[in-house]
Structure 1
Amino acid sequence: MLKGVPKILSPELLKVLCEMGHSDRLVISDGNFPAESMGKDAIVIRCDGHGVPELLDAILQVFPLDTYVEKPMNLMEVMKGDNVETPIWETYKEIVAKHDSRGADAIGQIERFEFYDESKTAYAIIATGESALYANIMLQKGVVTD
C-alpha cells in the first residue's frame, strides 16, 4: 500500500495509468460494455466489483485530463429511441468538478458506435460491474505539471 493513493487503484491499474502518456485514452466501462472484444489491442483491467463513479473519482486524483482538447471526457450518447434516464451523468459532473476547473464543460458525448470505434484505439479499458445504463466514459490524459 502507498500513502495518498486511493485504495481502489490496484497495482495493475496504477501501472497502466503511469505508463499512459499525453493524449492516450482510457475507457471506464459499465457492466454491459464489450470490454474484451473492444480491447483486443488495449490493456483490459477487470474491476467487476466496483462502479464507475468510485473508480472515476479515484483515477482523477492521479490522472490529469487533457487541457489541449475541449472535451477530454466523453460519455456514450444515448441512442435515439432508447427510453433511458442517465442520472449517473450528474454524478460524473460532480466528480469532474472536484478534479478539473472546467467541471461539466470538460464533458462531451460520442455517438454509441463511434464510441465503440474509438474504444478500439484506447490504451486501456477498465471493465467494471456498473449496472447503470450508458455509464461508459472515455478519458483523455493530459500533462502532469506538478
Structure 2
Amino acid sequence: MLKGLSPLLNADVLYVLKSMGHGDYIVLSDLNFPSESVAQQTVYGSLLRMENTTSAQAAEAILSLMPLDTFIDNAAQRMEVVGDPNEIPVVQQEVQSVIDKAEGKHWPLVGVERYAFYDLAKKAYAVIQTGERRFYGCFILTKGVIPPDAA
C-alpha cells in the first residue's frame, strides 16, 4: 500500500499509466470483452487486470491519477448497446458520474458502435480488464496532460 494511491491500482497498472503519453488511451473492459486477444494487439501487448472491481471503481482509481485529454471531444468513450445505441445502461451511468466528479464538470461519454470499439481497442496503449460482470461495461479513456506548476 502507498499513501494517497488507491489500493485498486496494482504495480502493472501504475507502470502503464506512468508510461502513457498525452493522447494515448486505455481500454477498461468488462469480463465479457475479448480482453486477452485484443490486449495482445495493443502497444503494451499484455492484458492488465483490476480484478474484483466494477468499471466505475476502476475508472475512479485510474482517474485519481490520470487526467482526460481536454484537446479532443471523445476522451471518454463507451461501447454502444447493440440495437439501441442511445440506451445508457446503469454501468455506464455510474462511470459517467465518476468521470464528471474527477473532471469537475459534465464530460459526456461518446458512444462507439461495438465493432468500431473493438477496432479502436486494438490500437490502445493497453487493456485493463475489470471484474465487471454487467453488459456494456467497456470504456476507452484518453490521457491528457498535467500542466507545469505556476512559477
Common fold, TM-score beyond 0.5?
A: yes
Give 1:17 shift: 0.3
Q: Does 1:97 align with 2:105?
A: no
Contact 1:77 1:110 in 2 (8 A): yes
Residue of structure 2 in register with 1:18 after alignment: 18
Residue of structure 1 in register with 2:116 after alignment: 114
Contact 1:45 1:124 in 2 (8 A): yes
Residue of structure 1 in register with 2:36 after alignment: 36
Is 118-127 or 88-97 further displaced after alignment?
88-97
Aligned mates of 1:112, 1:9 — CA distance in 2:
27
Alignment of 1:1-146 (within 5 A): 1-42=1-42, 43=44, 44-80=47-83, 86-105=89-108, 107-145=109-147
AA at the equivalent of 1:45: L
Contact 1:52 1:128 in 2 (8 A): yes
- Structure 1 residue runs of 5 or longer lacking an equivalent are none
Aligned mates of 1:8, 1:129 — CA distance in 2:
12
Aligned mates of 1:25, 1:118 — CA distance in 2:
10
Q: Secondary structure at the match of 1:27?
A: strand
RMSD value over aligned CA atoms?
1.7
- Structure 2 residue runs of 5 or longer lacking an equivalent are none
Q: Secondary structure at the match of 1:104?
A: coil
Q: Give the TM-score taking structure 2 as reference length.
A: 0.88
Give 1:144 shift: 1.4
**How many percent identity over aligned positions?**
35
Q: Give the TM-score taking structure 1 as reference length.
A: 0.91
